[in-house]
A = this chain, B = another copy of it.
Amino acid sequence: MAAAPVWSVDPRTGKQREQVAVEATRQEVDQAVRSAHAARHSLADRAARAAFLRTAADRLDEAAAHVIEAADAETALGPGRLTGELARTTYQLRSFADIVDEGAFLDVIISHADDTQTPPWPDLRRYKVPLGVVAVYAASNFPLAFSVPGGDTASALAAGCPVVVKVHPDHPATSELCAAALHRAAEETGIAPDVVTLVHGFDAGVELVGHPLVAAAGFTGSVRGGRALFDAAAARPRPIPFHGELGSLNPVVITEAAAAERAEQIATGLAGSMTLGVGQFCTKPGFVLAPASAAGDRLVKTLTHEVSEVEAGILLDHRMREAFVTGVTERAALPGVEAPVTPGSGGEHTVGAGFLTVDAERLTGEGAHDILLEECFGPVTVVARYRSDDEIEAVLARLPGNLTATVHLATAEETDPAGRGAALLTALTPLAGRVLVNAWPTGVAVAPAQQHGGPYPATTSTSTSVGATAIERWLRPVSYQGTPAALLPPELRDDNPLGLPRRIGPQRG
């Protein structure tokens, strides 16, 4: 059987641009994993891998024109957004280089021998070691920052783990360009290029998660695809950690006082956030609880105006366009659902932004519109109008896990620690990994305190895929007991030759 071709497709026309590669066979996936595994030792030296990450960022920056041109041609995300995404991507690579240099991620803990403890302590020295080959499943909606050179790859390499990337079919040409930049950087810094290896094709992705030498996986994508791979990872003879970011509704609660104070400003912010990047962010606010009041009416009026001004946009591929049109049509047809601006087909290849409204009471009890509480990828949100605080709580209780949860409060009057704002923060915390006040969830800072990961289905683990602590996903602790100084890894020696931050345990437990 001939190898299946992998085409780069222009979503603006639906036409094939060029054949980029062929789908990997089972043998080729096996070869890719074995090559990556064999290359792992070249990541052992921390200084070398930090240099590799920085050089990779430099090479990507140098290739910016080509990379952005290819990415725009394949994704229609536009040069402006893609320029920003590349800057974020290279910043992320350099950040992980800094994290590797600093060494806190090694989580060194030393407990000296101590006969006064119960039972007595031997000399124990613990740090973290890389898990092994990481399978990275690239995202459709971030051809750079969550794909070949993205956060999963950067954090895994920083941890000392080679990666095999399952390329997303929406941007194979961009992926190959990025891989070439990473490979050049590897060669320049004495790292084996096979520490980053690509495979194309759906079947290759399934094969990859089951490969005996794959030690962990990172995924960004749909609930359906992510869950299937999660299940496969768990069903292996030797299960592996599967860190998947699957789907998120990202609820927003707007209090009556906030709406009364600034309905128009909130509506304008919401319109911008929900339609940013044609509504294709995993942090898009897809569900809004707004008061069924005059202030709430003002909010809906401004939202109607703002969203109707948004130009039709191009989704990442035609399958997504179909899913969006079907999804919004199904939702708009529900009893009691209205569409102040009808989302849907905007032309042969485009979609129009819109939003739906519904009484919050339709979302609880018998015959509730459960589908309105599921993510619909694209430029649409659902505004549920509530009549009481109890109705807010009742709806929140029905929400699945989310990446983010947002509350808009009146600037001054709702910041009493014993008041409504505090109660809402408490109610939103169990629902999400990131809780925002008077802000919008799109835009995810690459910062140490970031948490981009929330309760299932937002994430299949308790980890984050953005920020410094994303590196924790690819490590496991090892403790050395009674080991002669000369045989200890330098990270664990008493003289701390590498100058690492460490915890030396006077503390018991």
Q: What is the interface of chain A, defined by CB distance below 8 A to chain B? A: 84, 87-88, 91-92, 94-96, 98-99, 102, 109-111, 114, 117-122, 124-126, 129, 131, 230-231, 234-235, 238-239, 241, 401, 415-417, 421-422, 425, 429, 432-439, 443, 445-451, 453, 455-457, 460-462, 464, 467-469, 475-484, 486-487, 503, 505, 507-509
Contact = CB atoms under 8 A, between A and B. Distances in A.
B479 A450 contact: yes
B508 A95 contact: yes
Contact of A450 (B91, B126, B429, B436): B126
A217 to B, nearest CB: 14
A507 B425 contact: no
A509 B446 CA distance: 5
Contacts of A483: 425, 435-437
A509 to B, nearest CB: 3
- Closest A-B pairs by Cβ, 6 of them: A95-B509, A234-B234, A451-B479, A111-B449, A124-B449, A462-B476
Given A429-B129, A445-B120, A462-B477, A507 B239 contact: no
Contacts of A416: 486
Given A461-B241, A486-B416, A96 B477 contact: no
B448 A481 contact: no
Given A439-B482, A462-B475, A449 B95 contact: no
B479 A446 contact: no
Given A88-B118, A437-B487, A451 B469 contact: no
How many copies are assembled? 2
Contact of A436 (B88, B94, B110, B482): B482
Contacts of A456: 238-239
Given A234-B235, A239-B456, A429-B478, 12 more contacts: A87-B118, A120-B445, A124-B445, A230-B234, A241-B461, A415-B486, A437-B480, A437-B487, A451-B478, A451-B479, A462-B476, A468-B505
Contact of A121 (B241, B445, B457, B477): B445
Interface of A is mostly: mixed
Q: From A239, A401, A479, A486, name the one whose CB has the most chain B CB atoms within 10 angstroms.
A: A479
Given A475-B462, A478-B435, A117 B446 contact: yes
A505 B449 contact: yes
A314 to B, nearest CB: 23
B464 A477 contact: yes
Q: From A417, A422, A447, name the one whose CB has the most chain B CB atoms within 10 angstroms.
A: A447
A462 B88 CA distance: 30
A445 B131 contact: no
A327 to B, nearest CB: 21
Contacts of A117: 91, 445-447
Given A91-B117, A111-B450, A482 B445 contact: no
B122 A435 contact: no
Contact of A481 (B84, B111, B437): B437
A417 to B, nearest CB: 5
A365 B499 CA distance: 45
